[in-house]
A and B are shown apart, each in its own frame.
Chain A
Amino acid sequence: MQRRELLKMAAAAGTASVLASRSAEPNAAAGPRMQIIDTNISLFQWPFRRLPLDELNDLVMKLRTLGITQAWAGSFEGVLHRDIAGVNQRLADACAGYPELTPIGSVNPQLPDWTEDLRRCIEQHHMPGVRLHPNYHQYALDDQNFARLLEIAARSNRLVQIAAAMEDTRTQHPSMRVPDVDLTPLTELMPRFPRAKVQILNYRPRKPLIESLAKTPGVYFDTARVDGTDGVPSLVQQVPQNRVMFGTHAPFLIPESALIRLHESSRLDADAFQRVLSRNANSALKPAKT
Chain B
Amino acid sequence: MNPETVQLGLPTAERLKAYRIWDSYFTPSHSYPGRDGNSRLIAEIERALPAIQKAQFEKLCYFPHVGIGTTTDNDLEQLLRTQPQRILKPLKRWPKLLLGMIQLNPNNVHASLDALNRWLRDGPMLGVYFPGSGPGALTCTHRNFNPLVERIAELNGVIMQHNWFQTGGKTRAGQSTPAELAVLAARFPQQRFLCAHAGGEWQRGIRAVRDSPNILVETSGFDATAGFIEMAVRELGPERIVFGSHLPSRSLGTELGKVLGADISQDQRHAILGENYRRLLQPILRKSSDSTDR
Q: Which residues of A contact B (CB under 8 A)?
A: 1-4, 6-7, 9-11, 14-32, 34, 36, 49-53, 66-67, 167-174, 177, 225, 227-231, 250-270, 273-274
Stretch at the interface among B68-76, B111-119, B136-144, B253-261: B253-261
A25 and B282 form a contact (CB under 8 A): no
Chain B 231-253, CB within 8 Å of chain A: the 1/0 string?
A: 00000000000000001111111
Contact of B278 among A11, A29, A262, A267 (CB under 8 A): A11
Q: Is B63 an interface residue (CB 8 A)?
A: no
B224 and A253 form a contact (CB under 8 A): yes
Say whether chain A's binding surface is mostly helix, strand, loop, or mixed. Answer: loop
Interface centre among A50, A177, A254 (most CB of B within 10 A): A254
Contact of A66 among B9, B15, B58, B225 (CB under 8 A): B9
Q: Is B48 an interface residue (CB 8 A)?
A: yes
CA distance A246 to B202 in the complex (A): 27
The 7 closest A-B pairs by CB, nearest first: A259-B9, A257-B257, A16-B18, A260-B253, A261-B253, A28-B7, A254-B261
Chain B 260-294, CB within 8 Å of chain A: the 1/0 string?
A: 11111111111000110011011011101100100
- Given contacts A171-B166, A229-B48, A257-B224, could you give 13 more A-B pairs where the C-beta distance is less than 8 Å? A10-B282, A31-B6, A66-B9, A169-B167, A170-B201, A228-B248, A231-B251, A256-B257, A260-B9, A260-B252, A263-B3, A263-B6, A274-B1
A171 and B222 form a contact (CB under 8 A): yes
Q: Is B20 an interface residue (CB 8 A)?
A: yes
B261 and A4 form a contact (CB under 8 A): no
Chain B 6-18, CB within 8 Å of chain A: the 1/0 string?
A: 1111111101001
B200 and A171 form a contact (CB under 8 A): yes
A14 and B4 form a contact (CB under 8 A): no
Q: List chain A residues, Cβ under 8 A from B18.
A: 14-17
* Given A6-B99, A28-B12, A51-B227: A270 in contact with B285 (beta carbons within 8 A): no
16 contacts between A and B (CB under 8 A): A7-B288, A10-B282, A16-B18, A21-B265, A24-B261, A24-B263, A31-B6, A66-B8, A171-B202, A229-B48, A256-B10, A265-B47, A265-B50, A266-B50, A267-B50, A273-B6
Q: Is B130 an interface residue (CB 8 A)?
A: no
A7 and B58 form a contact (CB under 8 A): no
* Given A10-B281, A24-B263, A25-B260: A262 in contact with B8 (beta carbons within 8 A): yes
Q: List chain A residues, Cβ under 8 A from B12.
A: 28
* Given A3-B123, A172-B167, A177-B168: A257 in contact with B253 (beta carbons within 8 A): yes
* Given A14-B20, A170-B164, A225-B223: A27 in contact with B8 (beta carbons within 8 A): yes
* Given A14-B20, A228-B249, A231-B251: A170 in contact with B200 (beta carbons within 8 A): yes
